[in-house]
Structures are given as structure tokens and as C-alpha cells.
Amino acid sequence: MSEEVKREINDSGVMTVTLNRPESLNSLNYGLVTKVIEAFDEATINDQVRSVILTGEGRGFCSGADLSGGGWPIEPEWSTGEISAKNMEFYLNPMINKIVNCPKPVVNAINGIAAGGGVGLALSGDILIAAKSAKFKLVFGKQLGIISDVGASWFVPKLISRARANALALLGEDLLSAQAEEWGLIWKTYKDESLMDEAMKIALQISDSAIEGLKACVHAHDHATNVSLNEQLEYEIKTQRVLCDEPAFKEGVAAFLEKRKPNFRNLK
């Protein structure tokens, strides 16, 4: 039996995490979700890792929950609702939080369909790129009579507006990657055959940068969505007070003055 999640780290510090259940379009079962959590735990603590690529094997990125059962730990007396809630609380939601809060920047390379909970997983990274053939589909309400989960109900309206999120959820229509790029759900689309090469280029560029500062930029943008301008200005003061005392800032300034490329690796 093949591994449900593959991971490898190259010499430049890029970890590639690949969902590996292509026969089910990488649907979410217990084994896959726990292996994704393990991969991002490693990315967090492994100093060799400086950026992460998350992608899927085969024709799909992730088709959402494995409705055939999924192998989740359950008790006989639990209702279907209880099983769903516990899976979300103890596995699916922690998976999303591990990705979003990973201290290393994450590039999601969406190689095919992202449906249901796969939409939330697809949108969990810091930079989102997709193949031309990729598409997004919120099937929860129309097909299953439930709400969007695995973070999709937060990511989608935040990125493309409440109006568009409502239409996608209520009508269950496909959102093609070109339209997703135009709306701002993702950053860029690429030809299918070049998606992973482009993802690696992005990840390598990140790995050569001051990764703590890059993640701080992401956090600042997230923080700004729910506060006033003055509150954000105060947040900037507090953050810069910390970052300007870090070795990366000193290296960046020195490199600028010395007219050389900064070296942010192995700073003390």
C-alpha cells in the first residue's frame, strides 16, 4: 500500500508535501489527514525546511471528505453528526491550523479539482497557484445539505466577497481556475505541465529570503482585515520593534549597503 502523503526535502530547504490518494482524487480520510499534520509538524521544527509546497497526486488536488467511511476513530454510540464534529475538532481543523500557522511559508500548487473540504485545504497556503485545468466546487449546501467546512466558509468570503461565496455555495457551480485568478481567490494560474516547476521556483525564491519576515507579512495582512487603520499602525509598530532587532534585518541592511545579495541562511 502506497503512502497516503508523500514528503521530501531538497537541498535548498523546500519540503514538498503531496497528497497521494489519486484513485479518490485525494479525498480526506484519517490516514491522509494525520499524515498531513505530521508533515507540517516536521516542517515547523526542522531547521532545514525553509518553505513548503503542498500539492496533489494525479488529476485532483483534493475532492473533500471520503464519504465511504474514511477510517476515522469512532465509538458505536456516536451519531453521524457527532462523528463529523469530532473529526473536525480533532483532525480536520488541526490540519488547517498546522498549515496556516506553519512558520515556513507555504505554496499551494492546486493541480486539479478542489471540492468540498478540499477547497478549504486548497486555500490554506500563503501563496496559491493553480493549473489551468483546476477548478473549485462548493458542494456542501446543494448536494449534502450542510455548510462549507475545513475553513472554506472563512477563506472563500474573505478572498472573493460574501456575494460570490454565497452564489458558489448555494448553486454549487464550478469555479474554473482562470475565473478564480480574476476574482482573487488564487494568485496565478499556469499550464498544467509547468505548475510544479513554477511552484518550485516560487518556493526556492522564498527559501533564499528572510522567512520569518515573510510570515510576518502574511500575519500583518490577516490582522488588517478586522481592525481599524490606527489599530493596524500600532500592530506595525509592535512588529517592526521585534523584527528590526533580528539578525535578518541586520543582514539585509548590510547587504544593501555593501551592494551584495543578502544571505539569510544560518543566521544567529
Which pLDDT does position 68 carry in this prediction? 85
C-alpha cell at 238: 509592535
- Per-residue pLDDT, averaged over 172-199, amounts to 98
Which pLDDT does position 69 carry in this prediction? 78
**Strand arrangement, sheet containing 135-137:** 60-62, 113-115, 135-137, 175-176
- Per-residue pLDDT, averaged over 27-36, amounts to 97
Residues 52-61 have pLDDT tens digits of 999 999 999 9
Which pLDDT does position 195 carry in this prediction? 99
Residues 216-259 have pLDDT tens digits of 999 999 999 999 999 999 999 999 999 999 999 999 999 999 99
- Alpha-helix residue ranges (DSSP H) falling in the chain: 30-45, 80-87, 93-100, 117-122, 152-160, 162-171, 177-183, 195-207, 211-224, 229-243, 247-257
Predicted TM-score of the model (pTM): 0.96
Residue 263: which pLDDT band, with cuts at 50, 70 and 90?
Answer: very high
Residues 191-224 have pLDDT tens digits of 999 999 999 999 999 999 999 999 999 999 999 9
- What is the percentage of the chain residues whose pLDDT exceeds 90? 93
Which pLDDT does position 1 carry in this prediction? 52
C-alpha cell at 263: 544571505
Whole-number average pLDDT of the chain: 96
Domain extents in the chain:
5-207, 211-257
CATH of domain 5-207: 3.90.226.10
